Amino acid sequence: MKRVRKAVFPVAGLGTRFLPATKSIPKEMLTVVDRPIIQYVVDEAREAGIEHMIFVTGRSKEVIEDYFDIQMELATSLAEKGKTDRLKILNDLQPAPGTTSFTRQQAPLGLGHAVWCARELVGDEPFALLLPDMIMQAEKGCLASMMDLYSETGGNVLSVEECDPSETDKYGIVGKGEDVGAGFKITGMVEKPDPKDAPSNFYLSGRYILQPEIFKILERTERGAGNEIQLTDGMQTLFQEQSFAAHPFKGRTFDCGSPEGFIEANIAFALWRSDIREKVIDDIHRLLHEVQPRD
């Protein structure tokens, strides 16, 4: 079984739900407490042993590439001022030279197309895919746990969670088969099904371990739900020839693709920080009394 060394991060989305902020800031660079959303997702990949990060970007996303580069002037100035704790934060997060790659999606044709754009950089080996909209809180990261299941099952491994059965039309949904390791075998997948057609309420929650054969399938996958080339449709085709296992994630997931989920993530990650937790709790209590809806 080949080791998973590379991870793909599709970061080309326009982030229209965060306008006007996303006129000039990629949504992946919005901060949860003190670090951009993309940093949480990259940290999760590093924790899982990923060695090479591949970003599928788009126009006006250059700032993401800058973010992962060394900021020499800033580092020098922090060193001169003796701000070693700040400098350590930068150094700890800095990817080693040559371990990041960037390519552009060029046209917003859907997640399946974004993944396909990474085919040359991934090559002929299994890879992880992390959707940066979703950030997670758990003692052990979601992708690291998926790697454990992958070492038992091989093939393809997808993270799933349960949604309200009335909300299956918001997600990719999988069918549940027999248990395998800490997860279960997938019996099929469908993108954004009507609740009456959904095979279960287990939805794809944004972490994938995929085999490289997905690329040649995505190359000929037709547009599906939302008139976009859907990864789920490509995986359903690959499912005819390869195994798919689901890893039900036990931690907390925050959908930073919407302002409400983003606020929830900020509160949750602030509460996770012992240095600011008490202040945040006090502020929330006070504001609940003081602030009423304005409209």
Residues forming contacts to ligand G1P in the complex (CB under 6 A) are 111, 131, 133-134, 171-172, 191, 203-206, 230-232
Using the minimum distance from each CB to ligand G1P, give the nearer residue, 36 or 206.
Answer: 206
What is the amino acid identity at position 294? R
Using the minimum distance from each CB to ligand G1P, give the nearer residue, 75 or 163.
Answer: 163
**Structure tokens belonging to residue 285:** 């209590």
How far apart, in whole angstroms, are the C-alpha atoms of residue 93 and residue 78?
A: 16
DSSP 3-state assignment of 191? strand
The one-character DSSP state at 29 is G
Looking at the chain, the number of H-run helices and the number of E-run strands are: 11, 13
In the complex, least distance from residue 77 CB atom to ligand G1P, rounded to whole angstroms:
39
Q: Which residues contact 90 (CB under 8 A, 6 or more apart)?
A: 71, 74, 75, 78
Residue nearest to ligand G1P (CB): 172
In the complex, least distance from residue 204 CB atom to ligand G1P, rounded to whole angstroms:
4
In the complex, least distance from residue 145 CB atom to ligand G1P, rounded to whole angstroms:
17
What is the amino acid identity at position 59? R
**Structure tokens belonging to residue 259:** 């302002």
Establish whether the linkage from the previous residue to 10 is cis, with ω within 30° of 0: no
Using the minimum distance from each CB to ligand G1P, give the nearer residue, 54 or 235.
Answer: 235
Largest CA distance in the chain: 63
Using the minimum distance from each CB to ligand G1P, give the nearer residue, 123 or 195.
Answer: 195
Using the minimum distance from each CB to ligand G1P, give the nearer residue, 157 or 204.
Answer: 204
In the complex, least distance from residue 41 CB atom to ligand G1P, rounded to whole angstroms:
12
In the complex, least distance from residue 257 CB atom to ligand G1P, rounded to whole angstroms:
6
